[in-house]
Protein backbone atom coordinates (compact mmCIF):
# COMPACT_ATOMS: atom_id res chain seq x y z
CA UNK A 1 0.00 0.00 0.00
CA UNK A 2 1.09 3.52 -0.68
CA UNK A 3 2.50 5.60 2.12
CA UNK A 4 0.40 8.70 2.62
CA UNK A 5 2.22 10.24 5.55
CA UNK A 6 5.26 10.03 7.75
CA UNK A 7 6.12 11.18 11.26
CA UNK A 8 6.52 14.78 10.10
CA UNK A 9 3.23 15.05 8.17
CA UNK A 10 0.77 17.68 9.41
CA UNK A 11 -3.00 17.65 8.92
CA UNK A 12 -5.71 20.18 9.76
CA UNK A 13 -8.01 18.71 12.42
CA UNK A 14 -10.98 20.66 13.78
CA UNK A 15 -9.22 24.02 13.81
CA UNK A 16 -5.70 22.89 14.73
CA UNK A 17 -2.68 21.67 12.81
CA UNK A 18 -1.53 18.33 14.23
CA UNK A 19 0.81 15.51 13.28
CA UNK A 20 -0.99 12.87 11.21
CA UNK A 21 0.73 10.15 13.23
CA UNK A 22 -0.64 11.60 16.49
CA UNK A 23 -4.15 12.58 15.36
CA UNK A 24 -7.03 10.74 17.01
CA UNK A 25 -10.52 9.96 15.88
CA UNK A 26 -13.40 8.22 17.61
CA UNK A 27 -13.82 4.50 16.89
CA UNK A 28 -17.50 4.94 17.76
CA UNK A 29 -18.00 7.50 14.97
CA UNK A 30 -21.15 6.98 12.92
CA UNK A 31 -18.97 7.68 9.87
CA UNK A 32 -16.75 4.66 10.35
CA UNK A 33 -19.60 2.26 11.07
CA UNK A 34 -22.03 3.31 8.34
CA UNK A 35 -19.94 5.13 5.69
CA UNK A 36 -21.70 8.33 6.77
CA UNK A 37 -19.22 11.08 5.96
CA UNK A 38 -18.66 13.46 3.05
CA UNK A 39 -15.40 14.35 1.43
CA UNK A 40 -13.63 16.14 -1.42
CA UNK A 41 -10.76 15.32 -3.73
CA UNK A 42 -8.87 18.46 -4.73
CA UNK A 43 -5.53 19.10 -6.43
CA UNK A 44 -2.98 21.83 -6.04
CA UNK A 45 -0.35 22.57 -8.66
CA UNK A 46 2.89 24.42 -8.95
CA UNK A 47 1.88 26.98 -11.55
CA UNK A 48 3.95 28.47 -14.35
CA UNK A 49 4.82 31.41 -12.10
CA UNK A 50 6.15 29.06 -9.40
CA UNK A 51 3.26 29.74 -6.99
CA UNK A 52 1.15 26.99 -5.44
CA UNK A 53 -2.44 27.11 -6.63
CA UNK A 54 -5.36 24.98 -5.46
CA UNK A 55 -7.36 24.34 -8.64
CA UNK A 56 -10.99 25.49 -8.32
CA UNK A 57 -10.72 25.48 -4.53
CA UNK A 58 -13.98 27.37 -3.94
CA UNK A 59 -15.96 25.00 -6.17
CA UNK A 60 -14.65 22.01 -4.19
CA UNK A 61 -15.33 23.47 -0.73
CA UNK A 62 -18.77 24.66 -1.84
CA UNK A 63 -19.50 21.10 -2.97
CA UNK A 64 -18.24 19.78 0.38
CA UNK A 65 -20.78 22.00 2.12
CA UNK A 66 -23.58 20.96 -0.23
CA UNK A 67 -22.68 17.29 0.25
CA UNK A 68 -22.82 17.69 4.06
CA UNK A 69 -26.15 19.51 3.93
CA UNK A 70 -27.58 16.88 1.57
CA UNK A 71 -26.64 14.24 4.17
CA UNK A 72 -28.17 16.23 7.07
CA UNK A 73 -24.73 16.76 8.59
CA UNK A 74 -24.19 20.02 10.52
CA UNK A 75 -21.69 22.24 8.66
CA UNK A 76 -20.15 25.14 10.54
CA UNK A 77 -17.22 26.17 8.34
CA UNK A 78 -16.95 28.62 5.50
CA UNK A 79 -15.18 28.10 2.22
CA UNK A 80 -12.63 30.90 2.76
CA UNK A 81 -11.41 29.56 6.10
CA UNK A 82 -11.08 26.03 4.71
CA UNK A 83 -9.17 27.25 1.65
CA UNK A 84 -6.81 29.13 3.90
CA UNK A 85 -6.39 26.07 6.19
CA UNK A 86 -5.61 23.99 3.10
CA UNK A 87 -2.89 26.40 1.94
CA UNK A 88 -1.47 26.12 5.47
CA UNK A 89 -1.46 22.30 5.24
CA UNK A 90 0.42 22.54 1.94
CA UNK A 91 2.90 25.03 3.35
CA UNK A 92 3.53 23.11 6.56
CA UNK A 93 4.17 19.93 4.54
CA UNK A 94 6.25 21.76 1.96
CA UNK A 95 4.02 20.63 -0.92
CA UNK A 96 3.07 22.27 -4.20
CA UNK A 97 1.72 19.47 -6.41
CA UNK A 98 -0.61 17.67 -4.05
CA UNK A 99 -3.84 15.75 -3.77
CA UNK A 100 -5.97 17.21 -0.98
CA UNK A 101 -8.60 15.30 0.96
CA UNK A 102 -10.99 17.12 3.31
CA UNK A 103 -13.38 14.81 5.19
CA UNK A 104 -16.40 15.91 7.24
CA UNK A 105 -17.33 13.20 9.71
CA UNK A 106 -19.76 12.39 12.48
CA UNK A 107 -19.25 11.99 16.23
CA UNK A 108 -19.80 8.77 18.19
CA UNK A 109 -23.33 7.64 17.39
CA UNK A 110 -24.51 4.10 16.86
CA UNK A 111 -28.05 5.17 15.99
CA UNK A 112 -29.23 6.62 12.69
CA UNK A 113 -30.25 9.88 14.34
CA UNK A 114 -29.07 13.30 13.14
CA UNK A 115 -26.03 14.68 14.99
CA UNK A 116 -25.66 18.09 16.60
CA UNK A 117 -22.08 18.52 15.37
CA UNK A 118 -19.67 17.40 12.67
CA UNK A 119 -15.89 17.24 12.63
CA UNK A 120 -13.43 17.94 9.83
CA UNK A 121 -9.91 17.09 8.79
CA UNK A 122 -7.84 18.03 5.75
CA UNK A 123 -5.00 15.80 4.57
CA UNK A 124 -2.64 16.25 1.61
CA UNK A 125 -0.23 13.90 -0.10
CA UNK A 126 1.64 13.69 -3.35
CA UNK A 127 -0.20 11.59 -5.92
CA UNK A 128 0.36 10.95 -9.63
CA UNK A 129 -2.78 10.85 -11.85
CA UNK A 130 -4.66 7.94 -10.30
CA UNK A 131 -5.41 6.07 -13.51
CA UNK A 132 -1.87 6.57 -14.81
CA UNK A 133 -0.92 8.33 -18.03
CA UNK A 134 -1.35 5.53 -20.58
CA UNK A 135 -4.49 4.93 -22.62
CA UNK A 136 -6.91 2.79 -20.62
CA UNK A 137 -8.53 -0.55 -21.28
CA UNK A 138 -11.99 -0.06 -19.80
CA UNK A 139 -14.73 -2.64 -19.18
CA UNK A 140 -18.42 -2.18 -18.63
CA UNK A 141 -19.05 -3.14 -15.05
CA UNK A 142 -21.57 -5.70 -13.88
CA UNK A 143 -22.32 -3.13 -11.15
CA UNK A 144 -24.68 -0.21 -11.75
CA UNK A 145 -24.30 3.21 -10.16
CA UNK A 146 -26.46 3.72 -7.05
CA UNK A 147 -30.08 4.44 -7.89
CA UNK A 148 -30.70 8.18 -7.31
CA UNK A 149 -33.92 7.22 -5.54
CA UNK A 150 -31.83 5.31 -3.00
CA UNK A 151 -29.02 7.81 -2.55
CA UNK A 152 -28.35 11.50 -3.06
CA UNK A 153 -25.77 10.74 -5.69
CA UNK A 154 -24.96 14.38 -6.42
CA UNK A 155 -23.35 14.42 -2.95
CA UNK A 156 -19.82 13.12 -2.48
CA UNK A 157 -20.65 10.80 0.40
CA UNK A 158 -18.25 8.11 1.56
CA UNK A 159 -20.80 5.28 1.52
CA UNK A 160 -21.37 5.70 -2.22
CA UNK A 161 -17.78 4.64 -2.76
CA UNK A 162 -18.42 1.04 -1.75
CA UNK A 163 -20.06 0.81 -5.17
CA UNK A 164 -16.94 2.36 -6.76
CA UNK A 165 -14.62 -0.04 -4.95
CA UNK A 166 -16.61 -3.10 -6.04
CA UNK A 167 -16.67 -1.98 -9.68
CA UNK A 168 -13.01 -1.01 -9.83
CA UNK A 169 -11.84 -4.20 -8.14
CA UNK A 170 -13.95 -6.30 -10.50
CA UNK A 171 -12.39 -4.58 -13.53
CA UNK A 172 -8.84 -5.01 -12.25
CA UNK A 173 -9.43 -8.66 -11.33
CA UNK A 174 -10.50 -9.21 -14.94
CA UNK A 175 -7.32 -7.60 -16.26
CA UNK A 176 -8.75 -4.20 -17.23
CA UNK A 177 -7.53 -0.79 -16.06
CA UNK A 178 -10.86 0.58 -14.93
CA UNK A 179 -14.61 0.04 -14.84
CA UNK A 180 -17.40 1.98 -16.52
CA UNK A 181 -20.76 1.86 -14.76
CA UNK A 182 -24.24 2.14 -16.19
CA UNK A 183 -27.31 3.61 -14.51
CA UNK A 184 -30.39 1.55 -13.60
CA UNK A 185 -31.70 1.93 -17.16
CA UNK A 186 -28.47 0.66 -18.78
CA UNK A 187 -27.39 4.11 -19.91
CA UNK A 188 -23.70 4.84 -19.53
CA UNK A 189 -23.14 6.83 -16.34
CA UNK A 190 -19.53 7.25 -15.17
CA UNK A 191 -16.43 5.57 -13.82
CA UNK A 192 -15.89 4.65 -10.17
CA UNK A 193 -14.14 7.98 -9.54
CA UNK A 194 -14.40 9.99 -12.75
CA UNK A 195 -16.87 11.27 -15.34
CA UNK A 196 -16.59 10.35 -19.00
CA UNK A 197 -16.94 11.83 -22.48
CA UNK A 198 -16.88 10.17 -25.89
CA UNK A 199 -15.99 11.69 -29.24
CA UNK A 200 -17.71 11.11 -32.59
CA UNK A 201 -16.99 13.10 -35.75
CA UNK A 202 -15.20 15.83 -33.81
CA UNK A 203 -18.03 16.33 -31.31
CA UNK A 204 -18.11 15.29 -27.65
CA UNK A 205 -20.96 13.63 -25.78
CA UNK A 206 -21.28 13.18 -22.01
CA UNK A 207 -24.06 11.84 -19.76
CA UNK A 208 -26.24 14.58 -18.21
CA UNK A 209 -26.56 15.12 -14.44
CA UNK A 210 -29.07 12.79 -12.80
CA UNK A 211 -27.22 9.51 -12.47
CA UNK A 212 -23.67 10.84 -12.01
CA UNK A 213 -21.61 12.90 -9.64
CA UNK A 214 -21.52 16.15 -11.64
CA UNK A 215 -17.77 16.62 -11.51
CA UNK A 216 -15.84 19.86 -11.32
CA UNK A 217 -13.44 18.55 -13.96
CA UNK A 218 -16.44 17.70 -16.18
CA UNK A 219 -17.60 21.32 -15.78
CA UNK A 220 -14.08 22.52 -16.62
CA UNK A 221 -14.03 20.33 -19.75
CA UNK A 222 -17.38 21.85 -20.78
CA UNK A 223 -15.84 25.33 -20.29
CA UNK A 224 -12.78 24.39 -22.34
CA UNK A 225 -15.03 23.12 -25.15
CA UNK A 226 -17.09 26.32 -25.10
CA UNK A 227 -13.95 28.42 -25.24
CA UNK A 228 -12.48 26.37 -28.09
CA UNK A 229 -15.72 26.02 -30.05
CA UNK A 230 -15.87 22.24 -29.59
CA UNK A 231 -19.45 21.01 -29.78
CA UNK A 232 -20.67 19.02 -26.75
CA UNK A 233 -23.94 17.26 -26.12
CA UNK A 234 -25.16 16.24 -22.67
CA UNK A 235 -27.45 13.30 -23.25
CA UNK A 236 -28.07 9.68 -22.37
CA UNK A 237 -26.54 6.92 -24.50
CA UNK A 238 -25.90 3.22 -24.30
CA UNK A 239 -22.85 0.98 -24.63
CA UNK A 240 -23.39 0.11 -28.31
CA UNK A 241 -23.15 3.78 -29.32
CA UNK A 242 -20.06 4.24 -27.18
CA UNK A 243 -18.34 1.25 -28.76
CA UNK A 244 -18.74 2.95 -32.14
CA UNK A 245 -17.06 6.15 -31.00
CA UNK A 246 -13.82 7.64 -32.33
CA UNK A 247 -12.44 8.01 -28.81
CA UNK A 248 -13.35 8.44 -25.15
CA UNK A 249 -11.85 9.71 -21.91
CA UNK A 250 -12.33 9.85 -18.17
CA UNK A 251 -12.05 13.16 -16.36
CA UNK A 252 -11.81 13.88 -12.66
CA UNK A 253 -9.64 15.77 -10.22
CA UNK A 254 -7.54 12.72 -9.34
CA UNK A 255 -7.47 11.23 -12.86
CA UNK A 256 -7.28 14.59 -14.72
CA UNK A 257 -8.11 13.89 -18.41
CA UNK A 258 -7.11 10.40 -19.50
CA UNK A 259 -7.93 8.72 -22.83
CA UNK A 260 -9.17 5.19 -23.41
CA UNK A 261 -7.70 2.61 -25.73
CA UNK A 262 -10.69 0.26 -25.75
CA UNK A 263 -14.00 -0.61 -24.15
CA UNK A 264 -14.64 -4.32 -23.51
CA UNK A 265 -11.61 -4.86 -25.78
CA UNK A 266 -13.26 -3.01 -28.68
CA UNK A 267 -10.72 -0.40 -29.78
CA UNK A 268 -11.76 3.15 -30.53
CA UNK A 269 -11.76 4.17 -34.17
CA UNK A 270 -9.27 7.05 -34.05
CA UNK A 271 -5.70 7.27 -32.88
CA UNK A 272 -5.87 9.23 -29.60
CA UNK A 273 -3.30 11.70 -30.95
CA UNK A 274 -5.68 12.66 -33.75
CA UNK A 275 -8.71 13.29 -31.55
CA UNK A 276 -10.23 16.55 -30.39
CA UNK A 277 -10.20 14.88 -26.95
CA UNK A 278 -6.42 15.00 -26.96
CA UNK A 279 -6.51 18.77 -27.39
CA UNK A 280 -8.95 18.99 -24.46
CA UNK A 281 -6.49 16.94 -22.38
CA UNK A 282 -3.70 19.35 -23.27
CA UNK A 283 -5.88 22.39 -22.53
CA UNK A 284 -6.72 20.96 -19.10
CA UNK A 285 -3.05 20.33 -18.31
CA UNK A 286 -2.25 23.93 -19.25
CA UNK A 287 -5.18 25.36 -17.35
CA UNK A 288 -4.30 23.77 -13.99
CA UNK A 289 -0.81 25.25 -14.11
CA UNK A 290 -2.19 28.58 -15.34
CA UNK A 291 -0.56 28.42 -18.72
CA UNK A 292 -2.47 30.46 -21.34
CA UNK A 293 -6.15 29.86 -20.46
CA UNK A 294 -5.59 29.85 -16.72
CA UNK A 295 -6.57 33.37 -15.71
CA UNK A 296 -10.34 32.78 -15.99
CA UNK A 297 -10.16 30.39 -13.01
CA UNK A 298 -7.75 32.35 -10.87
CA UNK A 299 -10.48 33.64 -8.55
CA UNK A 300 -12.35 30.32 -8.21
Rounded least distance, CB 158 to ligand PMP, Å: 11
Rounded least distance, CB 148 to ligand PMP, Å: 13
22-48 in b/e form (b: 16+ CB < 10 A) is ebeeeeebbbbeeebbbbbbbbbbebe
Q: Which of 138, 171, 123 is nearest to 17 (CA)?
A: 123
Rounded least distance, CB 254 to ligand PMP, Å: 6
A 10 A CB-CB count for 7 gives 8
Q: Using a CB cutoff of 8 Å and minimum separation of 24, what contacts does 51-58 make?
A: 52/87, 52/90, 52/91, 52/95, 52/96, 53/290, 53/298, 54/83, 54/86, 54/87, 54/90, 54/100, 55/253, 55/288, 55/297, 56/216, 56/220, 56/297, 56/300, 57/83, 57/86, 57/300, 58/83, 58/300
Residue nearest ligand PMP (C-beta atom): 215
Rounded least distance, CB 279 to ligand PMP, Å: 19
Nearer to ligand PMP (CB atom), residue 23 or residue 289: 289
Nearer to ligand PMP (CB atom), residue 50 or residue 150: 150
Residues forming a β-bridge with 262: 137, 267
Nearer to ligand PMP (CB atom), residue 30 or residue 211: 211
Nearer to ligand PMP (CB atom), residue 102 or residue 193: 193
Q: Which of 19, 134, 152, 156 is catalytic?
A: 156
Alpha helices, DSSP H, located in the chain: 30-34, 57-70, 79-92, 161-173, 216-228, 239-243, 276-288
19 is catalytic: no
Rounded least distance, CB 210 to ligand PMP, Å: 13
The footprint of ligand PMP (CB under 6 A) covers 41, 156, 190, 193-195, 213, 215-218, 252-253
Nearer to ligand PMP (CB atom), residue 10 or residue 138: 138
Question: What positions carry a catalytic annotation?
Answer: 156
Amino acid sequence: MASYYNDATVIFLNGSFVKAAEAKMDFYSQSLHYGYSVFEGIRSYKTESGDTKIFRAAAHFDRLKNSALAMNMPYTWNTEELISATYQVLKRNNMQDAYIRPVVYAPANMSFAVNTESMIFIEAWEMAPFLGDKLLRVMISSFQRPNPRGFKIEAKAAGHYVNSILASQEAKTKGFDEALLTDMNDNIAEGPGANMFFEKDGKLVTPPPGNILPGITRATVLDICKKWGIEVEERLFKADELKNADGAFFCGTAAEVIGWESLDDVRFKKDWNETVSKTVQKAYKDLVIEKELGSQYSAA
